[in-house]
Structure 1
Amino acid sequence: MVTLKSVAAEAGVSLATASRAFKDSNLLSADTQRKVVSAALKLGYDIPVQRKAQHTFAVVVPDSSNAVYATMMKSIQERAWSGRHLIYSADTGEDPLREIEILSTMGRAVDGIVLCSPRAGSSAIKGAVGATPTVVINGEVDPLPQILMETENGLHQAVEHLHSLGHRHIAYVAGPKMSWANTQRHRQIAAISESYSMQLTVMRNQAASTHGGLAAAASVAACGATAVIAYNDLVALGLEAGLRTLGMHCPEDISIVGIDDLDVAAIADPGMTTVRLGINDCGTASVDQLIKLVEQHEVTQQTTKLESQLIVRGSTARKIHQ
């Protein structure tokens, strides 16, 4: 018969740690939890089943079809499962009124909420969640704790990169008008491009999708910019496709930079130069923060910022046309 002691030895952890993996997994890191469970499965250990979830959490996103939120949801589910917490998800469809209604309804049925990229105003959100412990991802809703995927460092690297390639006129394809991330990215790009004495043309707000990029292509082609930074990778990929239909090729005629570093950015042709964000870390951090709120009524850090980094691929090149 396989014992817990055997599992601990296989996983290379103490007996106490192995025990916590099946009883108090919130006290362990996700990697340690995974290591113990993998050892148990390998040895055929009879894993004790928890019949009831410890907590139920709601995760509210503006668009579940967006790969960013799908990736984030996976990391949230992974971290929550290690503590045997149950996750419910809801899609607001980018509608602030629906967002408030969902928050009001789900807030009464769950122990805590992770609100991703809110579209409604702060006062409305605070009124909707009431006393329900809530963590906000990529949004500023004081005094709720926030996990922010900061883009300033990566965008500074992106503008510097384009400047070094000879580009002096860049465009920014804006994302959803009510997006906190869009507001931050617009402000940061404007300030950084000014510091490099580069001309910036800001395109109108678009959906955070390939369709948004396709819709912006004609305006980008007409504005005269030799490089463009898109709200996210999906917009960047849609933009690249739209420009191709107009006879402009990336990077020969125009350089394109995305934001997020989704898997699809790496396998695009050409590979998409992009600003990598801590999407997985963001999901994990939000669950850890929410658990502390629910169980300890403790906010260890009001705002957690995750840094960004430029990843250079084939979609940016030296400016060769006047």
Structure 2
Amino acid sequence: MSTTDAAANTPPARRKAVTIYDIAVRAGVAPSTVSRALSRPGRVSTETSDRILQVAEELGYKHARPRRSPSSVEDTYVIALVIADVSNPFFSQVMIGLQESARANGYTVLLIDSREDASEERAAIERVLHLIDGVVLSASRMSNSAIQQFNRAVPVVSLNRQVPGITSILPDSAQGMRAVVEHLAEYGHTSVTYLAGPADSWANGARWEALTQACHALGVRPRRIGPFPPTIGGGVRALDAWRRRPTTAVVGYNDVLAIGFMKSALAHGLRVPEDVSVIGIDNAGLSTLTNPGLTSLAAGSRRLGARAATAIVGHLRHRSQPQPAVTVLEMSLQERQSVGPAAVPIPTPTTLCAT
């Protein structure tokens, strides 16, 4: 029985999805060549393109035939925006900013929700690669090498994460966290707990590093607990961990996590900010709806989206290999009622940087 026959007789529930890497191995070419053959056939020789398409069909790849002829490099005027969680208002604001700028330049935005899953993110991009001109990754969970691989097929811009060799647009975590710690120090806080987000989030690591540097410079003791899911439920879990070794202030990885913590604290009889001050990050909308209002470090999510659209359109118009650049945007602290004077000092252990 041939390989093709065996694949055809495999029950659908057991058949593994074919990827561009499977095609590359069979065709004897690089994965980037497969990507170009399927998404930009005019950039691959006719002989190589035909071989790749034949192998793709034999393996049952769903998008074996490109919509454009091998002689065409015509744009589709579609940009894919890949976000980690569509329910997070931060990403909604990124999408609005990107969509407004993209539309003004004649491009349509295709939204992909990876659900915080690197493998799902990668598979989703592969499925639409032949339909799009470029990709904007917002807080991608993929490896650097996977992102760089896609950048060989279509231009890629990374938001909220710095990737070597890729145009990256970042909030200034160092400047932002300095403002956070200065604000807490003004109210007499000498210790702060960071509620960590997803372990594989680049932004999570950058925020913790920036917070510890600001704390050491200003004489505030930092502590980290987590990781926690960046959700209301994650905030509830964070309160349980914080109560074992409390500090007078906490900073959440994002607003949603901080709100979950604050709501759970209030439900357990704690007062905010009298017993514990709470700060979130993103300032994407929910922070104004809580009681008390949540002080939040604004990342300028809509501005991030607009800058990403400008960058990706610039790459597409120039047609050359994008020259990677790193753009850092200033953050601003939006002060509300969730921060107040430090409570009666709470004993803290000698080692505070627990993970």
Does the TM-score normalized on the shorter chain lie above 0.5? Answer: yes
Question: C-alpha distance in 2, partners of 1:157/1:290?
Answer: 31
Moved more, 240-249 or 280-289: 240-249
Moved more, 166-175 or 264-273: 264-273
Offset at residue 219 of structure 1 (A): 1.1
Report the CA distance shift for 1:282/1:218 in structure 2 as closer, same or farther (over 3 A): same
Q: Could you give the per-residue CA deviations for residues 11-51 of structure 1, whole angstroms, max 9, x where no partner exists?
A: xxxxxxxxxxxxxxxxxxxxxxxxxxxxxxxxxxxxxxxxx
Aligned length: 271
Question: C-alpha distance in 2, partners of 1:171/1:97?
Answer: 31
Letter in 2 for 1:263: G
Offset at residue 191 of structure 1 (A): 1.3
SS of structure 2 residue aligned to 1:220: helix
Normalising by structure 1, what TM-score? 0.80
Contact 2:180 2:297 in 1 (8 A): yes
Letter in 1 for 2:337: G
- Indicate whether 1:117 and 2:134 are aligned: no
Contact 1:136 1:144 in 2 (8 A): yes
Letter in 2 for 1:317: G
User: Hey, what does 2:209 align to over in structure 1?
Assistant: 187
Higher Rg of the two aligned structures = 2
Letter in 1 for 2:343: I
Moved more, 108-117 or 298-307: 298-307
User: Hey, what does 2:46 align to over in structure 1?
Assistant: none
User: Hey, what does 2:254 align to over in structure 1?
Assistant: 232
Q: Could you give the per-residue CA deviations for residues 132-166 of structure 1, whole angstroms, max 9, x where no partner exists?
A: 11111112222111111222212111111111211
Unaligned runs of at least 5 residues, structure 1? 1-51
Offset at residue 129 of structure 1 (A): 4.4
Question: C-alpha distance in 1, partners of 2:275/2:311?
Answer: 46
Of 79, 82, 89 in structure 1, the residue corresponding to residue 101 of structure 2 is 79
Contact 2:76 2:132 in 1 (8 A): no
Map residues 133-172 of structure 1 onto 2, 5 A cutoff: 133-172=155-194
Q: Could you give the per-residue CA deviations for residues 70-101 of structure 1, whole angstroms, max 9, x where no partner exists?
A: 11111111111212311111111111111121
Question: C-alpha distance in 2, partners of 1:262/1:86?
Answer: 23
Map residues 1-322 of structure 1 onto 2, 5 A cutoff: 55-297=77-319, 299=322, 302-322=325-345
Offset at residue 68 of structure 1 (A): 0.5
Question: C-alpha distance in 2, partners of 1:309/1:74?
Answer: 20
Q: Which runs of 4+ in 1 moved over 3 A?
A: 297-301
Contact 2:150 2:156 in 1 (8 A): no
Contact 2:198 2:227 in 1 (8 A): yes
Question: C-alpha distance in 1, partners of 2:301/2:312?
Answer: 17
Question: C-alpha distance in 2, partners of 1:145/1:320?
Answer: 44
Letter in 1 for 2:193: A
Contact 1:213 1:238 in 2 (8 A): yes
Q: Could you give the per-residue CA deviations for residues 154-195 of structure 1, whole angstroms, max 9, x where no partner exists?
A: 211111111121111110000111111101001111111122
Contact 1:154 1:309 in 2 (8 A): yes
Offset at residue 131 of structure 1 (A): 2.0
User: Hey, what does 1:38 align to over in structure 2?
Assistant: none
Cα RMSD (Å) of the superposition?
Answer: 1.7
Offset at residue 66 of structure 1 (A): 0.7
Unaligned runs of at least 5 residues, structure 2? 1-73, 346-355
SS of structure 2 residue aligned to 1:262: coil
Question: C-alpha distance in 1, partners of 2:127/2:138?
Answer: 17
Letter in 1 for 2:141: R
Question: C-alpha distance in 1, partners of 2:260/2:189?
Answer: 22
SS of structure 2 residue aligned to 1:99: helix
Letter in 1 for 2:241: S
